[in-house]
Each structure stands twice: as structure tokens, then as C-alpha cells.
Amino acid sequence: MIPMRRFLSVSTLLLGAHAFLGASASAENAVIKWKPFEKGLKDAATGKKYSFVDVYTDWCGYCKQLEATTFKAKPVLAELEKHFESIKFNAESEDVVTWKGKQMTMRDLSASWGVEGFPTMLFLNSKGEIIGSFASYAEAALMVNLLKYISSGARERKVSFEDFLKAAS
């Protein structure tokens, strides 16, 4: 028979380990909270946040790589959560969205934005105005720098990305 004191110590240790591992597992399984287009823009305006729009296609290999790696990196998740409303936008979808009072398909809106390659990431201010874009795959470190560049207001102050990076180091 196990003495009660030893049982409580082992039980406490196991419960503590379970709580720690559970928290760790949930942090590792953290994901971007993607919102539909109009909801993301509305929430950004209400919360005075930026919008991050991931313009993708189903066949795009680099889009899938972003999803599998960059969009799972803890620093990227933290920056998006803190300063952005995140929106997934399928550039080939026939779903209808409203942009600046006009209804159009996601395909047509993507074309009107001039998106020609995938992935393309758009950055919008809280008024829904496009203030920047990045048309390529980005590893986590670059993505965090891009997000911080936007969220710091440097882009809107017309600071170049290179000057922003120099000042940050």
C-alpha cells in the first residue's frame, strides 16, 4: 500500500505535468483565427486593428507551405493576434463579397487589386485601405518583420522596410 503523503506527492506531480503538457500542447496547436472577409474588415475597424489578408489558391504550393510552417510559428501567431484581424481570401472563389460598397466575386476583387501571383499578402489599415502587400512565400522571421513593420505604423509614415529593419536591429 502507498503511504498517503507519497500518493499525494505523486498525484500532484502528475497533475502538474498534465497541466503543463496540456498548456504546451495547446500552444503548439495554436492556429490563426481566420475570419470571413467582411467580418474581418468590420472587426478591424471596430478594434482599431490592421487586417492581414492571405490571398491564396487551392493549387498553390507556396500557399500550402505558408499554412504548414510560417502560419504556425509562435512569433507570427503572436503578432497577428495582437495587431491584426486575419482573413483568408481564395482568389479563385466565386463567393460574393462586398468591398467599398460594391459586391463582386472574390476572383474579381482579387483581379481588381492587381493580384497576379500567389501567395499574396495584403495589409490594410483599420479604414480598410490597402497600405502594403507582399507577393511571395515568407519564412517566419521575414513574416514577423513584415507584420511589425505594418503594426508599428512605419509603412504609413513612409519609412522604407530596409530603414525599419536597420532601426530595429
CATH, residue 49: 3.40.30.10
Q: How many other CB atoms sit within 10 Å of the CB of residue 140? A: 17
Q: Quick one: pLDDT at residue 30?
A: 79
- The pTM for the full model equals 0.82
Q: Quick one: pLDDT at residue 169?
A: 86
Q: How big is the chain, counted in residues?
A: 169
**Cα–Cα dist 40/63, whole Å:** 20
Q: Quick one: pLDDT at residue 19?
A: 37
Asked whether residue 25 falls in the same domain as residue 48, the answer is no
Mean pLDDT of the chain: 87
Asked whether residue 86 falls in the same domain as residue 105, the answer is yes
Task: Name the residue type at position 102.
Answer: K
pLDDT less than 50: residues of the chain: 1-27
42 CB burial (10 A radius; 0-12, 13-18, 19+): middle
**Cα–Cα dist 103/124, whole Å:** 19
Asked whether residue 24 falls in the same domain as residue 36, the answer is no
Asked whether residue 44 falls in the same domain as residue 23, the answer is no
Asked whether residue 63 falls in the same domain as residue 17, the answer is no
Q: Which residues contact 163 (CB under 8 A, 6 or more apart)?
A: none
Q: Quick one: pLDDT at residue 6?
A: 39
Domain ranges, residue 8: 1-30
